[in-house]
Amino acid sequence: MRTFQALLVALLLATPLARGDEGSGQAPPTTVPPSAPAPTTPQQITEVKGSVPPGLVGRWLVVGWVGLPESRTQTTTAVWEIAGSGDTLTLTERWVELPEAQQKAMTSAIQATQPWRPTPEDVAAVQAAWDTLPARDPRLATVKNELVGRGSFKAAGLGDDERSQTLWVVQQTQAFLPSAQPTIKQANVFSADKAVDGGWAGAYQTTILAVAPFPIPINLKGTFQAYRLGDEAAAPGFWDRVFGMFSGCGRR
């Protein structure tokens, strides 16, 4: 996910929340002009655990919302591509800016600490611009993506499979380059429990580890929605019904 650089610095310095990336006191992930060399791409690996719904394959705009004090909300976005099948699935995150209109709308929402929720037109615009989305430098060294399905939640430390309503989980562990300090690592957990509009929705949690001057973990919780970019909109709904048949098993 797009890192919470401004929020992180604000929390570390105990000052009011910075408005967007500008003026945060730290260099945010850098947008790369079209004429500039491509940024260094972090090494990404994917591990698959358990039975993951085939409906995850495809391209996704993932939007997360975390609650802040005083009824404020911080929005964060990610662009994923999931390919393969079974235990050979690969999740690749792309570090890009959204199309100009959508980027502007999201920035305005962030500055107002209000949620940005993309419309179908916004999703279509991201899909249409997939091959030309401006790159940005995430300042990451490595990314580990774990796709966890039913049957492996307990083993992955995600709760009891028999009691869980969760359909699948994506866990991300991101290690930053020294230039991204004070951020050292970030862990994201997306727990999908229902199908929505051809995509998925559920709980979102992120933990940011920073140095100031010693390591400080910052935990934030909220929700997320994954919007499908493509023509397979019916797939998640079908698999949600299939896996949903078993989601209540063992619950009391």
Do 145 and 93 form a contact (C-beta atoms < 8 A)? yes
Q: Judge whether 193 lies within some domain.
A: yes
Query: How far apart (Å, rounded) are the C-alpha atoms in residues 8 and 211?
Result: 11
Query: How far apart (Å, rounded) are the C-alpha atoms in residues 10 and 44?
Result: 29
Question: Where is pLDDT greater, at 241 or 126?
Answer: 126
- Among residues of the chain, what percentage have pLDDT more than 90? 56
Residue 106 has pLDDT above 70, yes or no: yes
Q: Judge whether 32 lies within some domain.
A: no
* Full-model pTM: 0.79
Q: Judge whether 91 lies within some domain.
A: yes
Domain count, the chain: 1
- Domain span at residue 114 reads 5-21+37-244
Q: Judge whether 159 lies within some domain.
A: yes
Q: pLDDT tens across 185-199, in order?
A: 999 999 999 999 899
Q: Which residue has the tokens 């049957």?
A: 151
Q: Which residues 6+ apart lie within 8 Å of 66 measured at CB?
A: 4, 73, 74, 76, 204, 206, 220, 221, 222
Q: Judge whether 28 lies within some domain.
A: no
Q: Judge whether 200 lies within some domain.
A: yes
Residue 130 has pLDDT above 90, yes or no: yes
Query: How far apart (Å, rounded) are the C-alpha atoms in residues 192 and 207?
Result: 18
Residue 25 has pLDDT above 60, yes or no: no
- Using 50, 70 and 90 to split pLDDT, how confident is the model at 165? confident
Q: Report the pLDDT value the prediction gives residue 7, as an integer from 0 to 100.
A: 53
Of 3-17, 47-61, 126-140, 159-173, minimum mean pLDDT range: 3-17
